[in-house]
Amino acid sequence: MTRADVRKTYKLYIGGAFPRSESGHSYVVEDAKGKFLANAALASRKDARDAVVAARGAFGGWSGRTAYNRGQVVYRIAELMEDRRPQFLEALSSSEGLTSRQATAALDAAVDRLVWYAGWADKLTQVVGNANPVAGPFFNLSTPEPTGVVAVLAPQQSSLLGLVSVVAPVIVTGNTCVVVSSFARPLPAVTFSEVLATSDVPGGVVNILTGDATTVGPWLASHMDVNAIDLVGLAGSPELAAELEVAAADNLKRVHRAPAAEPDWALEPELDAMTRYLETKTVWHPIGV
């Protein structure tokens, strides 16, 4: 007897759960050769709002953890990605049309990047924080704190390494995020969400929406409870990026502007990716008290 195929239903990842889109809509995902690959949930503005609520709810607990513990959690993501190597390699090969060697290199780089950021978790404060010299009998100390909820329009081409490169620095510094994955290549992001769900990352810290950034992006940009937005996924779309920057100004969001072209994610990461979504708190304290 021939077994029927068990087809997978690709869903959103919000608050640690996998809901279908509120709209009930999905879209066709094709492989690198233009053949049908899967159906993915098409996120709506209601889904975006739900994801922001989940991210805000998780922010207090996540930002209140020690930096060392956040580093451990991010490292755990890397461990589980290693365990799911075959699934990630298949997703990369079908989505991006990579050879086995290229897919392996992309996956290795993504895992290594998580380890790199995990290692910086409890060291960043010593590098970007400081004791400021002041004229008076006071200690003046500056220390970084997370910005809050960050909306991320993920890269469109590099569906895994690019995704990890923009999400890891956001969460390792104590922020929570709502991510809109690559529209044409959502499968690596969906697989990544399954890793998050089985790791130590609390529900709501990372929320992943599959769908069109040009549809969901404006709602995230104008949402009054989103504190920052990364427009890297709009590389090559200057008009839309400018429109979202204007929308983000309504509540003075931090905006990482869209580059002219998608960055080369194989380059070494920089500290700027982490400090981009940090605020500096300065405390004065009398000497001798």
Every domain of the chain and the residues it spans: 38-286
Q: What is the DSSP letter of 90?
A: H
Block means of pLDDT (10 residues each) for the chain, 289 residues, are 79 97 93 91 96 98 97 98 96 94 97 97 90 81 92 96 97 98 96 96 98 94 97 94 94 92 93 93 81
Pairing assessment for the beta strands 278-286 and 138-146 based on DSSP bridges: antiparallel
- Residue 117 CA to residue 104 CA, distance in Å, equals 20
Under DSSP, is residue 157 helix (H, G, I), strand (E, B) or coil? Answer: coil
- Residue 97 CA to residue 286 CA, distance in Å, equals 62
Q: Would you state the pLDDT for residue 44?
A: 96
Strand partners, 254: 228
Q: Would you state the pLDDT for residue 164?
A: 98
Contact 89, 82 (CB under 8 A): no
In this structure, the number of other CB atoms found within 10 A of the CB of residue 252 comes to: 8
CB contact set of 60 (below 8 Å; sequence gap of 6+)? none
Contact 248, 221 (CB under 8 A): yes
Pairing assessment for the beta strands 36-41 and 278-286 based on DSSP bridges: unpaired
CB contact set of 283 (below 8 Å; sequence gap of 6+)? 139, 140, 141, 142, 143
Whether this prediction's pTM lies above 0.75 is answered by yes
In this structure, the number of other CB atoms found within 10 A of the CB of residue 261 comes to: 9
Q: Would you state the pLDDT for residue 223?
A: 96
Output b/e per residue, 72-106; b: 16+ Cβ within 10 A.
Answer: ebbbbbbebbeebeeebbebbbbbbebeeeebbeb
Please say whether the dihedral angle defined by the alpha carbons of residues 118, 66, 57 and 129, taken in this order, is positive or negative. negative
CATH for 38-286?
Answer: 3.40.605.10
- Residue 74 CA to residue 91 CA, distance in Å, equals 22
Q: What is the DSSP letter of 2?
A: P
Q: Would you state the pLDDT for residue 289?
A: 64
Contact 173, 202 (CB under 8 A): no
- Residue 177 CA to residue 185 CA, distance in Å, equals 20
Token match 């739900």: residue?
50
Q: Would you state the pLDDT for residue 260?
A: 92
